[in-house]
Structure 1
Amino acid sequence: MSYILPTYGRFPVTLVHGEGTRVWDDQGKAYLDFCSGIAVCALGHSPQPLVDAIRKQAATLIHCCNLYHIPQQEELARTIVEDHVRIPGKVFFSNSGAESNDGLIKSARKFGHARPQPDGSPKYEVLSFNQSFHGRTLGGINATGQQKVKEGFDPLLPGFRHLPFNDLNALTAAIRPETVAILLEPVQGEGGVNVATPEFLLGVQALCEKHDLLLLLDEVQAGFGRCGDPMAWREIVPGLEPDGISWAKGMGGGFPIGAFWLSDRLIDGEKPLSSLMGPGSHGTTYGGSPLACAASLAVLREIADRKLIDNVRARAAQISEVVVSWQHPLVTEVRGLGLLIGIGLDVEKMTVPEGKLPAIHLSAKLLENGLLAPPAGPATLRLLPPLNVSESEVSEALEIVRTTLDTLISQP
């Protein structure tokens, strides 16, 4: 009997130990981990710089509420703004990606009051995209463009509509007087690993400028090096200038932390956008604790000091080249950015038990063969190895994928 709510469909394995790119279950079996806690363990398992930072900070000060100044928080915010975003702005620290996205949505509503419709009523509508995923809070599921996450939670919150991804014409036609912001993932992770095109991102930015909307980017899964550049959007369009960005997952390397950033760009000629979220507008008990910020600082420094962006790009090229070279009958394409990679599956040619989704069935078979790799929708396998994964580990994992796929080819 379990006392845990049955909110997860779990694979039949109990993981008890991890080191680098490998984990071990309670039976002593080892696995290559190309799930990384769903893009969380950016440096692999128990990396020494992160362990040392947590141990040192835990012995000094674990928690301090946000009624007082927290030096680690200031240093992490400075690092994010100056070294990563490289656009003037300010950061709020949360505990998760869903909270970070809720913060962006609240910021958009604040902006809608500061920049109302012609009749004086506030703008409030956030446009997002089909197959997006923005978290499982009420705000997050309403912003998410997947019906399955909303079932059983109606009545839904007003102020959200979903449009075809990478379809600029549909977006242009959808903007209404009450629209206040456009929220998108530069790379849709949960929705199938779909990458925004440069033309689409530039078009979204132009529409935001034309209609006085906020351009909000969800980089919860894609940010801080997973897709190449520390900011995934910059890997697609270097000159883009968003108004807000959300993060979580990899920025803590396994320690819970999230954040969102708002630009300092002026609205009404003199007031910065970031000033709209003033005292009393938002808050958190645990967000930005000394311990969480020390952990995140250690992760971001290790990514920078070891130049892991170079490794991300090299290993991404290796994966793409090898998988394409297979010309495997079950593989339709390789898509993604950096080490957020999706392998499309030709499910019509797969042997899948009745009632099972193809990608989940493949993930289960890979697990049996010693590889953790999660699905991304019904027909996509996702590869999310640590940013410091080695060439030989990638080769080992891909061989497991190939041989496993061979066993699932439907026989005529």
Structure 2
Amino acid sequence: MMLTRPLKVALLGCGVVGSEVARIMTTHGDDHAARIGAPVELAGVAVRRPSKVRAGIPQELITTDATALVKRGDIDVVIEVIGGIEPARTLITTAFEHGASVVSANKALLAEDGATLYAAAERHGRDLYFEAAVAGAIPLIRPLRESSPGNKVNRVLGIVNGTTNFILDRMDSSGAGYTEALDEATALGYAEADPTADVEGFDAAAKAAILAGIAFHTRVRLDDVHREGLTEVTAADMASARRMGCTVKLLAICERAADGRSVTARVHPAMIPLSHPLASVREAYNAVFVESEAAGQLMFYGPGAGGAPTASAVLGDLVAVCRNKLAGATGPGESAYTQLPVSPMGEVVTRYHISLDVADKPGVLAQVATVFAEHGVSIDTVRQQGRQDSSGEASLVVVTHRAPDAALQGTVEALRSLDTVRGVASIMRVEGE
């Protein structure tokens, strides 16, 4: 039987995502009521600019006092899509204190201080759901939280930022440089006016922290994630990747150590083989590849950003939280029982692709090989090509076997000190093999 009293929802933020949430709640209200077992009512919308016309939202629901809205006491669920650390953190914890569960899309806050939110939700017996915080419309968080406890996850490898994937895809397919590809992404609306959060890897790093924490049942904060952006990736890197049968992606990589005693989380550009499923992820799409013991390899794919896809994830959480409310239960909270330490990037074992500008004369390759040997890094392949000019230089490309990242970094620093090495043109890790 359906509960006749509507469940009341407060919406914090009414931008691209928030306005889509309100629209879908209005147009699909009957469907949501049927799935939940009770009608759902939008009871208030907190905004910064109340004078702005918002189609489909009655003006009497608009307020600039978000604190008063979450304190009302008759609110069953608060949807937070304002982003940032404050006032979002205070509003969420206040909502818990006054009897509301929370659905959030706030990756930055969850990565920075998710432990505080989890603790507040548990203390007050409320739900905290956040499917929309990672990979937009792709069902990912709930499968990891609710389906993986019976399965040991060893690695999560993902493309979790649509803007950077679009840029790298354009560089790969058209031969464009980074700046040209970024300009196209901006013109098409994939990149913000200030793209720093995307292209420098901050957005992906926040998502990596969330994924690592859930996958490995341990606390991983944003500061624990090694981060590199893609601004140094060149058309020459893309061409070199193609010669190796690879492409370049900005990857979020979360791994459990081989001995199971620690985890790592990192974001950086990497070459991956064209045979890997992530290599075929094009345009602004996202995909996450999960490697586990019992289930094997799983891949989640779909649109990772945008108003409608993100709102879809928010509404999915809303239905789940409302059903929990009617059942008098709560969903999964924080799972950090393993308390595994997060190892530094230097302990990560990976391969490197290093492009050097060297003097075009005998003995150079032997000197370079000696430096690698002195640092305990084994060379897999070497390709040398002379320049068609009078510079007296050649290009030397070295691909290593797997070695600790610290050893590889030490190798690169030593190479820079050689008189015969005129410059280190490019350094990129090789993953997904």
TM-score (norm 2): 0.27
The structure number with the bigger radius of gyration is 2
1 or 2 for the larger relative contact order (CA 8 Å, sep ≥6)?
Answer: 1
Q: Compare the two structures and name the one with the higher strand fraction.
A: 2
